[in-house]
Amino acid sequence: MDFDMGPDAAALRTELRALVKSHVPDDYLGAFTDDPADLEVAQNFCHELADRGLLCMSWPTEFGGRASSPWEQTVVREEMWAHHEPRGAQYMGVNWVGPIIMRFGTEEQQRTHLPPIAAGEVIWCQGFSEPEAGSDLASLRTTAVRDGDGWRINGQKIWTSYATMAHWCFLLARTSKLGEGAARKKQHGLSIFLVPMSAPGITVRPIRTMMGPHHLNEVFFDDLRVTDADLLGTVDDGWTIVQNVLAFERVGIARYARCERLLQLAPGALGDRWADLPAELRGRWARMLTYCRRARLMAYRIVALQSTGQVRPTDSAAYRIAVTKLDQDSAEVLMEITAALPDQESRHFRAEVEDHWRYSQASTVSSGSIEMQRILLARTLLAAS
């Protein structure tokens, strides 16, 4: 399979790798570590990309982009994830918050939110999952109740990435109870609000995990006051927006690029010890490289469908299953390979592999659990048979 995108894409990859090399420390493992300097690196790198017109390449020019092809944006996505995402949390705004606001937002919302995202100046978090509404998202309990000319929001969100540093929250809440008006199913009666995290009534509590600080948080909303200007789209039709979000989000993270880069580095990291590895382990390593190409091909198929507006939830679900399995299986293979390294050799490669392994454990449930993706895919296939 030939994945060559042509000379322009190759030149863009070369430019991006040179920027990473010159602006990102060699031992960088992501923005959200115990060292605040890592977040500063990511924010500065975002500004550098934005100044060069590389942060939101595929966005329309009127929104701060370059109207480039989705394939050029795919190159950016791959190179960033291959190098531990030096854009930090900006990928969220670039990959789906911005495009969703372009599709469903008012002109005022577009003027307010799109330029700061394109300039790399704002961090978003996603207020979807709740303690009893993770995989079954439509069962959420956070409510937005009419209060004069606005809304009053009460409830709790959990597993909210980047909430401690986010400027805005893309918040899903129930605006109509089941049985009221057109809310005949639990997917009905939900709405999206664009909420400033500095607003009174919002409390964030970090959840410590093995992935380090800043990643996961609880967020509490106590009589949070918002206005109709904060409502995205139509009241009670938030589920339509959620489906669009998930289609963008699940393919927007090029996990296969990081897997492939680490797998390709493994022989060089081991040097002469590579030949001493069990043949079975080297065979699994080769199989993982094949699976990287499979996940890449599935991602490219969805990118092509996105450009025509024909992405179905099942397309994203199939990709999500494949890339999650790749994430975890490649991490296990790489951990076994690094076990052959002496403690004092290839320390950064070992650190990269361990970081990859930690993230792979969470990938089973992030952006919708893999079990739910399988159920969605199975129901669709059975309905078509």
What CATH number is given to the structural domain containing 266? Answer: 1.20.140.10
- pLDDT exceeds 60 at position 96: yes
d(CA 295, CA 291): 6
Quick one: 269 and 376 in the same domain?
yes
Q: What would the two tokens of residue 30 be?
A: 């992501």
CA gap 330, 294 in Å, rounded: 13
Are 228 and 328 part of one and the same domain? no
Question: pLDDT band at 334, cuts 50/70/90?
Answer: very high
Q: Specify if 241 maps to a domain.
A: no
Tokens (6 digits) for 72 = 């050029």
The pLDDT assigned to 311 comes to: 65
pLDDT value, residue 382: 76
Which range, 91-100, 105-114, 158-167, is most confident? 105-114
> 124-127 and 168-174 as β-strands: parallel, antiparallel, unpaired?
parallel
Q: Render 247-264 in DSSP notation, one character per residue.
A: HHHHHHS-HHHHHHHHHH
Q: How many residues does the chain have?
A: 385
Q: Decide if 234 contacts 197 (C-beta within 8 A).
A: no
**What CATH number should be reported for the domain holding residue 201?**
2.40.110.10
Q: Is residue 1 part of a domain?
A: no
- Per the structure, the complete domain to which residue 310 belongs is given by 254-384
Closest CA to 227 of 265, 178, 187, 194: 194
Strands 143-147 and 150-157: antiparallel
Q: Looking at the structure, tell me whether residues 263 and 348 fall in a common domain.
A: yes
CB proximity list for 115: less than 8 A, separation 6 or greater = 63, 64
42 or 70, which is more confident? 42
Q: Is the domain of 356 the same as that of 305?
A: yes
Residues 263, 168 share a domain? no
| CA–CA separation, 84 and 39 (whole Å) | 12
* 189 and 259 share one domain: no
How many domains in the chain?
3
Tell me which of 236, 269, 302 is where a domain ends.
Answer: 236
Cβ proximity of 225 and 199 under 8 Å: yes
Of 83, 106, 122, the one marking the end of a domain is: 122
The rounded Cα 40 to chain-centroid distance in angstroms is: 20
pLDDT above 60 (res 351): yes
| Active centre residues (catalytic) | 249
E strands of 228-289, at which residues? 231-232
Between CA 55 and CA 66 the distance in angstroms is 10
**Whether residues 303 and 265 fall in one domain:** yes
Examine the pLDDT at 42 and tell me if it is beyond 80: yes
Asked if pLDDT for residue 138 goes beyond 90, the answer is no
In a domain, residue 161? The reply is yes
Condensed to tens digits (0 to 9), the pLDDT of residues 277-328 reads 999 999 999 999 999 999 999 888 888 877 776 667 677 778 888 888 999 9
Asked if 203 contacts 220 with a C-beta cutoff of 8 angstroms, the reply is yes
Say whether both 110 and 169 belong to one domain.
no
Whether 245 is in a domain gets the answer no
Tokens of 152: 């009053």
Q: What is the mean pLDDT of residues 262-275?
A: 95
Answer yes or no: are the C-beta atoms of 38 and 30 closer than 8 Å.
Answer: yes
Do 74 and 178 fall into the same domain? no
Q: Which secondary structure element, helix H or strand E, spans residue 71, and what is its range?
A: helix 70-82
> Considering the domain boundaries, does residue 351 fall inside one?
yes
Tell me the C-alpha to C-alpha distance, in Å, between residue 236 and each of 140, 174, 205, 360, 369: 14, 8, 29, 35, 25
CATH number reported for the structural domain that contains residue 35 in this entry: 1.10.540.10
- Per the listing, tokens 């990118």 go with 303
Which residue in 176, 177, 127 sits closest to 156, CA to CA?
Answer: 127
| Under 8 Å between Cβ of 362 and 212 | no
Going by C-alpha positions, the residue among 243, 376, 300 that lies closest to residue 384 is 376
Q: Could you tell me if residue 186 is inside a domain?
A: yes
d(CA 182, CA 139): 16
Q: Helix or strand or coil: residue 236? A: coil
CA distance 90 to 363: 19
Runs of H (alpha helix) within 220-343: 238-252, 255-270, 279-306, 313-338
- Rounded distance, CA 374 to CA 139, Å? 19
Whether 152 is in a domain gets the answer: yes
The model's pTM is 0.87
Does 246 map to a domain? no
Is the domain of 43 the same as that of 98? yes
| 135 and 112 share one domain | no
Output the pLDDT for position 367. Answer: 60
Q: Is 35 left (phi over 0), alpha (psi -120 to 50) or beta?
A: beta
Claim to verify: residue 343 and residue 311 sit in the same structural domain:
yes
Lowest mean pLDDT among 79-83, 166-170, 208-212: 208-212
What's the average model confidence in pLDDT over 229-254?
A: 84
Q: Please tell me the distance from the alpha carbon of residue 337 to that of residue 281, in angstroms, as a whole number.
A: 8
Question: What is the reported pLDDT for 326?
Answer: 94
Q: Is the pLDDT of residue 250 over 60?
A: no
Least confident of 22-31, 248-257, 356-365: 248-257
Among 103, 122, 141, give the residue marking a domain's end: 122
Number of CB atoms found within 10 A of residue 228's CB = 12
